[in-house]
A and B are shown apart, each in its own frame.
Chain A
Amino acid sequence: MINTGAGTGRRRETALLAWPSLILIAGYGYMASSGLHHPGWQPAYALALLLGGFWGVHLILQVTRHGGDEFLLPLAAVLTTLGLTFLFRLDPGLAYRQIIWTILGLLVLVVVTTGFRDYQRLEQYPYLFLSLGLFFLAFTVVAGTRIGGAKSWVTLGSFQMQPVEAVKVLMVMYLTGYLSDKRELLVQGVGRPTWGPLLAATAMAVLLLVIQRDLGSALILLATFLAMLYLATGKRRYVAAGGGLFTLGAVLAYRLFPYLRVRIAVWLNPWTDPAGAGYQIVQALIALGSGGVFGTGLGLGHSQVIPAVATDFIFVTMGEEMGLFGSTGVALLYLLFALRGFRTALDAREEQGILLAGGLTVLVTFQAFIIMAGVSKLLPLTGVTLPFVSYGGSSLVISYLILGLLLNVSAAGRGSKP
């Protein structure tokens, strides 16, 4: 691999940022011509703010001679700008709020990439992250609000957030610290006391998520845990055992929770109740089918009949209006993001970097996969957001936090190369 990133002017990133810029300009054209307006906002301000935001981050990375991967920021930017365009088409009010979240996310990215470059220092306190994560979860269980099935929201005044997004990152950071520390012991076999805290912590987090009915996040957390365990130990039978335990837990949960049975029944055949429980999935499938290969064109679809279209189901809007080309394009963007993330892990020089980059990559990609597969009925639907795209402050800001961490691991890996 040619080391083009470290210390240079990030020329590749400069070139690639042209794509999200074009999307923004096209989106601006759509905003200006659509006649959809939101009081107190001007499309031109929105355009300037966003262009300034993305190029500003690029400039800061350049000036601070950040050596991180040059593909990740453009990929995230393409996803976010596409998401904003579709959000504006669905609900201009949400889009303007999402612009603020985007700017906030970019600020977090700047803080992480400039202030916390030495990620290894973060990994000295795994139990701090774990405690924080479990506290957030427990707090949500006790004081959370149920919105759209899952009790995963915390309301503070007029401000709502989903702590679970932060919890997932905290868990990855805990696992990174713990696994890199205890790796040698874990490889030697099951049944050692080392496994205790690891399994207890993961099981606790998953259980708390299941209690909140946030099955999607529980699934993502489990998959991330297994992936990181595999990275740390290299033992496939651990993953197989984990998969077996998961199946057992799933069967148990299926018997225990009626809402889960309903969800599986809807997945198997949504057409038996197309006006009730199956409505979302039936209409999502019809929307995707109506989009066909080429799509209806921006703003010409009718996916707004689907509840939660701006959050969990935004992929359906993209699939209808951009067609098969658009939907597979978005899927491939996540695959590219995954490949760059795994490349980052591959370049990392020590275990912590590998585990952190690998874990975060699995976290983002798997979440994207299960919601894209969920809304198209490939998998049972579990309501999670599409990272970088869906409306939602917590999800977007955390996505950019993850991006920052990945860039830091990447910079360390490349910088230390001869």
Chain B
Amino acid sequence: MKGEIRRLAMVTGAIFLALVLYLTYIQAVAGERLYLNPLNPRLALVEQQTERGTIYDRAGRVLARTVATGGQFQREYPYGGATAQVVGYVSGRFGSSGLEASRDGELLGLLGWQRFLNEGLRLAGRQARGNDLTLTLDADLQRRATDLLAGRRGAVVAMDPRTGAILVLASSPTFDPNHLEEEWTRINDPSSGSPLLNRAVQGLYPPGSVMKLVTATAALETNPAVLQRQFYCPGYLEVRGWKLTCPRAHGHLDFQEAMMYSCNVTFATLALETGADKFKATASLYGFNKPLDFDLPVKESRVPEHLNANALAESSIGQGAVLATPLQMALVTAAVANRGIMMQPYLVARVTSPGGQTLWQAQPRALQVVAGAGVVDAIKDAMVATVKGGTATAAAIPGIQVAAKTGSAQNPGGLAHAWLVAMAPAQDPAIVVAVVVENAGAGGVAAAPIAREIMAAALRR
């Protein structure tokens, strides 16, 4: 019986070891994540006793600040609706959103050693202050983009393709975070167009012809001789008894002309030649079907897993089951602009302690090498031609060479979604813009002027 007792003791030791290891995981490894969970009622108490940090744009303009009125903290958003979805809001009644939610830990000073320091301050009856955030966002451009959307449903993303810094992340319609209480019923009304939704990162749209940038990459990577080929467009393409059409018969045309006039027949032909595997692989290099690590939650853009000939032809022109966020299409364009190297997008440039000390700083880094420089430069040249004499002439800026691609994405909701992605100056792009306006028709008409204004404003300074 003695041996049995020893074995029983060993089993007891083993299960307690498992418990201790598990507790170590819960409290030491996952502890901070659990603490920062929005379901944690402790955060509401901390909120009342802590001065939330200020959020600045890239030039130091205040996007969100805390003012104390009558012993109570109040949050102010000087740019109101223009930055409402990005910066978000924080409210005892309605919870929090945007960066106010995703950067709670920093804004309230709850991470690492700071948490102990601030808890000590609170215990001593003194007010703790959180950290400040400096964003890559350009508040002027952001406001301009919101104005240009003019209440229509849509989004504008602008970024620096060389670094991945996000300059504009606008979504419309919007709401005033300064008057949440008064606006709450209106913004939750189905007819208001979901202003709480950040369409730039959470809106999934069929990308339409903008997807041809991905199709072109796959085709050129497989066979660079495509550039010298002549194509013929009779106005339709029959794929297994199903007809894919162009708005008109484009006749004889080369690769660049196919891009200029956005010929569906040519790109579907190229996709069918290249094959579904290469198309999917290229889309995945550009970031489709992959979660994106970003400062805000991003919906995953997707290309269908199984592509038969019909689905491949549809997907190659951005229809069918292909869905993308405006941020995703901005990233595709940025990779083309940056010689095939896609940079990790980021929104928070710096975290600064209340004492002004830099606690963290974003470092631009490459996220993915998508394609060779030769391939993307050929695509860029075709996009330049598209602005000069193709579908995107409305994106042209006098004195600056612009490269762009339009899209008009068919959808069940009515008129096509108007898309435009653009970069400027084309020789060495410093800004990339992606614009989508829901149910606004042709991209070259509805979306191009918005992109033009943003690029012009950004480059003329």
Contact = CB atoms under 8 A, between A and B. Distances in A.
A290 B3 CA distance: 42
Contacts of B119: 296, 300
B40 A290 contact: yes
B5 A332 contact: no
Contacts of B30: 289
26 contacts: A230-B4, A234-B3, A234-B4, A282-B39, A286-B37, A288-B26, A288-B27, A289-B27, A291-B27, A292-B28, A300-B123, A302-B41, A302-B42, A302-B45, A319-B23, A324-B24, A328-B23, A331-B19, A331-B20, A332-B16, A339-B9, A345-B5, A346-B5, A365-B12, A376-B19, A376-B26
A293 B112 CA distance: 11
Contacts of A324: 23-24, 27-28, 31
Contacts of B5: 231, 342, 345-346, 354, 358
B20 A332 contact: yes
A323 B5 CA distance: 33
B243 interface: no
Contacts of B45: 302
B240 interface: no
Contacts of A292: 27-28, 31-32, 35
By size class, the interface of chain B is: 35 or more
B23 A327 contact: yes
B8 A335 contact: no
A373 interface: yes
Contacts of B22: 373, 376, 378
Contact of B41 (A305, A319, A372): A305
Interface of B: 1-6, 8-9, 12-13, 15-16, 18-20, 22-24, 26-28, 30-35, 37, 39-42, 45, 116, 119, 123
Contacts of A290: 31, 34-35, 40, 42
A285 B34 contact: yes
Contact of B8 (A296, A342, A376, A378): A342
Given A328-B23, A338-B9, A289 B31 contact: yes
A29 interface: no
Interface of A is mostly: helix
A373 to B, nearest CB: 6
Contacts of B28: 292-293, 324
Nearest to B36: A289
Contacts of A323: 27
Contacts of B39: 274, 282-283, 286
Nearest to A315: B23
B41 A227 contact: no
A376 B23 contact: yes
Contacts, number: 120
A307 to B, nearest CB: 14
B23 A335 contact: no
A164 B119 CA distance: 43
Nearest to A285: B34
A351 interface: yes
| Closest CB pairs A-B (n = 7) | A289-B34, A324-B27, A342-B9, A289-B31, A292-B31, A290-B35, A335-B16
Contacts of B33: 289
A113 B27 CA distance: 40
A369 interface: yes
A417 to B, nearest CB: 14
Contact of A231 (B4, B12, B13): B4
Contacts of A274: 39
B1 A378 contact: no
A332 B15 CA distance: 11
Nearest to A279: B39
B124 to A, nearest CB: 13
Nearest to A319: B27
B104 to A, nearest CB: 14
Given A290-B31, A293-B31, A305-B41, A358 B26 contact: no
B19 A286 contact: no
B23 A331 contact: yes
Contacts of A338: 9, 12, 16
Interface string A265-299: 00000000010000000110110111111101000
Contacts of A293: 27-28, 31
Contacts of B42: 286, 290, 302
Contacts of A376: 19, 22-23, 26
Given A293-B28, A300-B123, 8 more contacts: A274-B39, A286-B34, A288-B23, A288-B27, A327-B27, A338-B9, A354-B1, A373-B19
Interface in A364-392: 365, 369, 372-373, 376-378
A88 interface: no
Contacts of A362: 8, 12
A231 B27 contact: no
Given A231-B1, A335-B12, A289 B23 contact: no
